[in-house]
C-alpha cells in the first residue's frame, strides 16, 4: 500500500537532516582547529626551526587575507655571523631578538632562540645594525593544517614574496607537497635567506624565476 506523508512531517524530517549535517560539519571544523593549535604549540615548544620556503607572486596569493593574522615587521640584523636579528612588530606593539645558527646543508633545519626585548633595548641594539633593515608584511594562516606564512616585502625588496611553512620534523618537511600557486622553492638557496637579503638585496635569479 502506498503511503502518503503530510507535508509538515516531510519538512520536519528535512530540518532534522540538515541540522545534523551542520552539527557534524561544525564538529569536524572544531576538531581540525584543535589539531592545528596543538601542532602550533609543538612547533613553538623547542628551539629548532624546520622550514621550507617558496617564491610566490604577491598579486596572486590564494589565501583569505581577511582571516589571516597580519604582522608588519621591521627586521634588522646586528650580526650576520652568528646571525642575530631584532624585530619591531606592528609599529612597536612588541620587540624581539633572535639568534639562529647551525643551518643544515639543505637549508631546512637550524637552531633558533628568540626572546622578547624592551623598546629601549631594541633602540640600543639597532644602533649596531649591519646591512639594510628589512620591511615586510606577514600573513600567518592555516594551510591545510600547516602553520604557514606569506611574507610580502617592501622598500628595497619590493616585489619579493615568500611562502614559508614550518614542520614538526625533517621527514614531514621532505614529504610535504607545496600548493600549485608557488613559483619556485628556494629553501636551499642561501641568497634567499633574510640575512642575505639584508646584505645583497634581491638575487638576480628572482627575476628569471618570475618570468617563467
DSSP H or E run through 27: helix 7-43
- C-alpha distances (whole Å) from 15 to each of 9, 10, 20, 104 are 10, 9, 9, 57
Residue (of 86, 92, 79) closest to 119 by Cα position = 92
Pick from 170, 209, 171: nearest CA to 189: 209
Q: Are the C-beta atoms of 178 and 187 separated by less than 8 Å?
A: no
| Residue of 5, 77, 122, 207 with catalytic role | 77
What does each C-alpha distance from 27 to 30, 31, 54, 68 come to in angstroms? 5, 6, 33, 22
Cβ atoms 192, 204 nearer than 8 A: no
Please say whether the dihedral angle defined by the alpha carbons of residues 89, 78, 207 and 155, taken in this order, is positive or negative. Answer: positive
Is 77 part of the annotated catalytic residue set?
Answer: yes
Q: How far is CA 74 from CA 36, 77, 87, in A?
A: 28, 10, 5
Catalytic residues: 77
Amino acid at each position: 500500500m502506498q503511503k502518503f506523508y503530510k507535508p509538515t512531517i516531510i519538512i520536519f524530517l528535512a530540518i532534522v537532516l540538515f541540522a545534523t549535517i551542520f552539527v557534524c560539519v561544525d564538529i569536524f571544523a572544531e576538531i581540525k582547529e584543535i589539531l592545528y593549535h596543538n601542532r602550533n604549540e609543538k612547533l613553538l615548544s623547542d628551539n629548532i626551526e624546520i622550514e621550507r620556503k617558496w617564491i610566490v607572486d604577491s598579486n596572486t596569493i590564494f589565501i583569505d587575507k581577511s582571516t589571516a593574522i597580519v604582522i608588519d615587521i621591521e627586521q634588522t640584523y646586528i650580526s650576520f655571523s652568528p646571525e642575530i636579528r631584532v624585530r619591531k612588530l606592528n609599529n612597536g606593539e612588541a620587540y624581539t631578538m633572535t639568534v639562529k645558527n647551525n643551518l643544515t646543508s639543505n637549508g631546512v633545519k637550524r637552531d633558533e632562540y628568540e626572546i622578547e626585548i624592551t623598546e629601549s633595548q631594541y633602540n640600543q641594539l639597532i644602533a649596531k645594525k649591519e646591512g639594510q633593515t628589512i620591511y615586510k608584511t606577514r600573513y600567518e594562516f592555516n594551510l591545510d593544517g600547516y602553520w604557514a606564512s606569506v611574507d610580502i616585502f617592501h622598500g628595497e625588496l619590493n616585489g619579493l614574496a615568500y611562502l614559508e611553512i614550518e614542520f614538526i620534523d625533517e621527514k614531514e618537511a621532505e614529504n610535504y607537497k607545496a600548493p600549485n600557486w608557488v613559483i619556485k622553492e628556494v629553501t636551499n638557496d642561501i641568497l634567499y635567506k633574510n640575512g642575505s637579503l639584508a646584505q645583497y638585496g634581491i638575487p638576480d635569479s628572482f627575476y628569471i624565476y618570475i618570468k617563467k
